[in-house]
């Protein structure tokens, strides 16, 4: 499925391909922000690369809001390959986390040192759940049973 949205010079392109026995959508959010979306079990995993900044945050928020509405509500954002996050990007992360939480979802971010430093600098590390890997984030969603 291809969908092109030309709005304020932001291009949004979806197409579907197979990845590790699940379907992942490639998201071409802007020239500077790219990513994929994979639905696995009870969560959506977004793997993003590039810049989450004032130029890309609008397209990012629109796509994430639509995906949260469609479900599943649990979100893992893999930002381990993000090069830069500015205050607009942080605002988009906070808004997306609030939307996920209000839908009774769990919102987690897989971070890298640059993203972690930026989040901690503005004291959002208690609100935005930072995880070292996608596997750790998945484990938080599906804790082992005590039986």
Range of the domain at 66: 31-141
As for how many domains the chain has, the answer is 1
Query: 8-12, 104-108, 120-124 — which is least confidently predicted?
Result: 8-12
**CATH code where residue 109 lies:** 3.30.750.24
Q: Specify if 107 maps to a domain.
A: yes
Query: Considering all CA atoms of the chain, what is the largest pairwise distance in Å, rounded to the nearest integer?
Result: 54
Q: Specify if 86 maps to a domain.
A: yes
Q: Specify if 20 maps to a domain.
A: no
pTM to 2 decimal places: 0.81
Q: How confident is the model at residue 2 (pLDDT cuts 50, 70, 90)?
A: very low
Q: Per-residue pLDDT averaged across 126-131, rounded?
A: 95
Q: What is the reported pLDDT for 6?
A: 42
CB hemisphere CA count around 23 (13 angstroms): 5
């Amino acid at each position: 499925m291809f969908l092109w949205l030309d709005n304020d010079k932001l291009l949004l392109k979806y197409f579907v391909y197979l990845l590790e026995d699940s379907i992942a959508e490639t998201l071409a959010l802007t020239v500077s922000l790219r990513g994929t979306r994979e639905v696995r079990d009870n969560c959506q995993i977004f793997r993003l690369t590039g810049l989450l900044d004032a130029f890309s945050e609008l397209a990012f928020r629109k796509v994430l809001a639509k995906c949260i509405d469609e479900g599943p509500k649990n979100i893992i954002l893999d930002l381990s390959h993000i090069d830069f996050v500015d205050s607009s990007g942080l605002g988009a992360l906070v808004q997306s986390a609030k939307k996920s939480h209000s839908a009774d979802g769990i919102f987690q971010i897989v971070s890298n040192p640059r993203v972690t430093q930026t989040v901690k600098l503005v004291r959002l590390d208690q609100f935005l759940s930072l995880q070292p890997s996608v596997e750790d984030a998945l484990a938080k969603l599906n804790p082992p049973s005590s039986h």
